[in-house]
Structure formats: C-alpha cells, structure tokens
Structure 1
Amino acid sequence: MKSIEERKYKLELDIEAGLRITQHALNTFRDNSCRRAFSLSEMVLEPKSSSISDIFDNVFDYAVKGYTSAADCISLDDLQDMQAFLHIASSAMEFYEANRLTECENVFSAMIARAKLDLASGGYDYAFTEDGNLFISGYKDDLLTLSEVAFLANMNEKSVRNATHQTKDDRLETVKVGGRTYVTPEDGLRWLCKRRGFIPTDTLEVEAS
C-alpha cells in the first residue's frame, strides 16, 4: 500500500515525464536533426508547475483524498485536457519505450470510481455529462470495475479479485455483465468502508492542498 505522499510524488513525476516526452516528439517533428533515442532514465525529473499539473492536483485531491471542494474546481474542459494528455503522452511513452503514465491513469480512473460511489450513495454528485453528452468514454455510473474498486481501496487488483471468492468472509459481491465482472456501487461502498486504505468522500469544504 502506497502512502498518499508517495502516490502524489509519483503522479508529479509522471506528469513531468509525459510533458518531456511529448515535447521531444514535437521537436522531432519540427526539426528531425534532434531525432534520437529518447531515454527518461538518463534524465533527472523534478516536478514543475503547469496547467495540466494543476488539473491533476484537483483530481488527486478528490479521487484519492475525497475532497469535494477540489472536485468543484474540475471543469469539463479540464476533463478533456486530462484525456488528451493521457492519450497523447501515454502513446508517446510507449513509442519511445518508456513506462506508461500509470499513476496519471490510476488517478483518472479513481476519480471516475469515486464519482460513481458518491452518485449512488446520494452524496456528492459530480456530473460527467453536459446537455446529455458523455465526456468520459465508456462511462457507466451504475457499475464499478474491479480495477476501480482497487484504486479506491489502494490495493492491487489481484487482492480485490481474491476478495470476490465465495469462500471469503465478508466477500465482495459481484455481478456478471456480458462475461465481465462488475460491482454495484452499493456493494462496493459497503466493502470499501471496511478497508484500511479507503478514504470516504468528505463533503465538507476542505481546502485542497
């Protein structure tokens, strides 16, 4: 189990790596004289402030810490910027044989998972639609994936999957849809509330750091 501080620092490094490798690709397109093998391992990455890092800061404070005051700062334009960054930077990372931006992806998924729980529990309602248009591809507010449960529990997916076995005490109840395994938000919240790594949503106006 990673601490919040460890997850936040890894997120900051992921963002900086994504920006670096995207800039390298753009420079190569402009002037192929800088075409070369790109190695992040040879660089010293230090987190720097940027527009995309500010967006991820708010998402982290809602998704991981559970601060609804941070979610109120996330606009639909921010969601689009996040998705664009993940699609572009992650693809560039793979092309240049670097590691994927796993913490960025995890935080984004945890935000969606927490919003599903909050909506189902009648608490905080963060909308991923505008005028009926869906802003998150494949978003289903009625079911959680096992990986989404794992993000919220700060556990690995294998441990969560093990908790679904019939022989387990206080097992995580699941449903099958189209051959895939899901968890209802109600069952997910019941199970998560007994997990040490889960942080419930705080609807108080806590100032996000």
Structure 2
Amino acid sequence: MNNYSIELRLNANLAPTTEIELKGAAYSLIAALDHLFSSSVGKEASMCNYIDWENTLKQNQMVEGSALWDCIYPMWEYAENGGEVPNIYDDLLGDLAKWLSAVNGYCEYHGDYFNHHIIKVILKCLAKLKLINKLDPNELVTLSSGWFPQFSEDNFTLVELALLAGMKNIRTVRNAQYDKEEPLSFIKTGGQVLVTREHAVAWLAKRKGFDESILI
C-alpha cells in the first residue's frame, strides 16, 4: 500500500451503481479537479456551481465527452450490465488512480465522498474480470503497486466479494465464516482477510445478487 492508495470508506454503500450515480460522481470529480487547479493559480473555476450535479443536458454532454467517462463507462457497463469485456491496460488504470488520488484530501476536507461510486465500479469490474480469468493483475503496474488495496492480485477481498454479490456492505461476507452448514473459508495474509477463487465461486453461486452466467 502507498500513501496515496484509493479505497472505499468502511461505511460506504456497496450496492450496485446506476448510470446516473456514476455520471454524477464523474461530474463531481471533474469539477473538483477543475476547482483545485483554478484555485491554485488564482483563477475562478470554469465550471459553474462547482460540484452541484443536476443531471442537465449540458452536464451530461460534458461528462460524456470527457476522458474520464471514456475510461470508466465501459467498466461500469461490464460490471453492472454484463456488457462487452472492457480493455483494461495500465495507462487507463494509471489515469484513474491519479485523478482519484488527487481528490482524496479534497473529499475529506469537504466531507463529500462522491468518488466512492467510481471506486466501486473499478473494483467490481476488476474483480469480475479476475473471476473469469480475463485479467492478470501481475501485468498491471498500477495494481501490483498497491494503488487499490481493496483489490487482491491472487485472491478476493471481502469488499470484492460484496460487490460481486450485489450487497450493500461486507457484513454478510464477514459473517459467512460462521455459517453452520457451509462456512466461507478465509485466509489471512499481509494483514488482509482473503478468499481463494475456488471458495469465492462456490459462495457467490448461492447469492441472489450474483450473475452466475459469467462463469459459463
């Protein structure tokens, strides 16, 4: 883990992200970056109302025309709708990591964690690709460098499992180890509680919020 790691807060809602929620988060991220740049050079931010997302036509056009949207939308489409498998490469993840880490302090200062929708989409997309063996994290420096500590290169974190199962939090995943009939087997390594792919697949297959068709 590095000092700029990107992760969800402990109380973050892990429920599936809608397209409108993702657009609002993307708009807020772009606005925050714009505000940080403008304030640092002593100019007024070019985006009016700074962070107010109202789902207007102009705001939608601005978001859809952004590099951020080009990066995150295909990941959302695959993660939440089972769309085409996105092309994940290191520069894409690197850009997302830089943009998100740049507003970490900004979100803390304002107490507004709009970035969590984007982080959820990234983690869910990567976990889903890893589950079907369409992703080799070891080939992506951004992942192997620990930018997303709630993503495991070789196994699955509790956050990843909760996202894949469509759950609101990790409580159900954590409590699954105490199931009397089929307890979920955990392993602990490097301070993390993880689940192997074999046990993850078996557990997810019984969850209503999991799309088992991706395993076929």
TM-score by length of 1: 0.76
Report whether the alignment pairs 1:128 with 2:137: yes
- Structure 2 residue runs of 5 or longer lacking an equivalent are 1-12
- Asked if 2 retains the 8 angstrom alpha-carbon contact of 1:129 and 1:135, the reply is no
**CA spacing shift, 1:28–1:2, aligned 2, 3 Å:** closer
Check whether the contact 1:65–1:199 (CA below 8 A) recurs between aligned residues: no
Q: Which runs of 4+ in 1 moved over 6 A?
A: none
CA distance in 2, matches of 1:61, 1:25: 29
**Where does the alignment leave 5 or more consecutive residues of structure 1 unmatched?**
120-124, 205-209
Deviations 1:147-180 (A, max 9, x none): 110011111211211222143x333221222453
Mapped to 2, the partners of 1:174 and 1:203 lie a distance apart of 22
Residue type of the alignment partner of 1:65:
N
- Alpha-carbon distance change, 197 to 166 in structure 1, aligned in 2, over 3 angstroms: closer
CA shift in 2, pair 1:203/1:157, >3 Å: closer
Letter aligned with residue 73 of structure 2: D
Tell me how many residue pairs correspond in the alignment.
189
Which position in structure 2 is the counterpart of 1:194?
206
Q: 1:39 to 1:170 in 2, by over 3 A?
A: farther
Which residue of structure 2 lines up, in the alignment, with residue 207 of structure 1? none
The match for 2:184 among 172, 194, 204 is 172
Once the two structures are superposed, what CA deviation does each residue of 1:77-113 show, in whole Å capped at 9, x if it has no partner?
Answer: 2111111121113332223332241111111111222
User: Residues 114 and 29 of structure 1: is their aligned pair in 2 closer, same or farther, counting only changes over 3 Å?
Assistant: same
Pair 171,64 (structure 1): closer, same or farther in 2 beyond 3 Å: farther
Offset from partner CA, 1:8-34 (integer Å, 9 cap, x none): 221111111111111011111111677
What does residue range 22-101 of structure 1 map to in structure 2 within 5 Å? 22-31=33-42, 40=51, 44=54, 46-47=59-60, 48-49=63-64, 50-67=66-83, 69-71=84-86, 73-101=87-115
Quick one: which amino acid aligns to residue 99 of structure 2? F
Percent of counterpart pairs with the same letter?
24
* Cα distance in 2, alignment partners of residues 153 and 184 from structure 1: 15
**What letter matches 1:135 in structure 2?**
T
Partner Cα separation in structure 2 for residue 163 and residue 19 of structure 1? 39
TM-score, scaled relative to structure 2: 0.74
One-letter amino acid of the structure 2 residue matched with residue 111 of structure 1:
C
CA contact (8 A) 2:176 2:184 kept: yes
1:144: Cα distance to partner? 0.9
Q: CA deviation at 1:203?
A: 8.4
**2:157 equivalent among 145, 155, 160:** 145
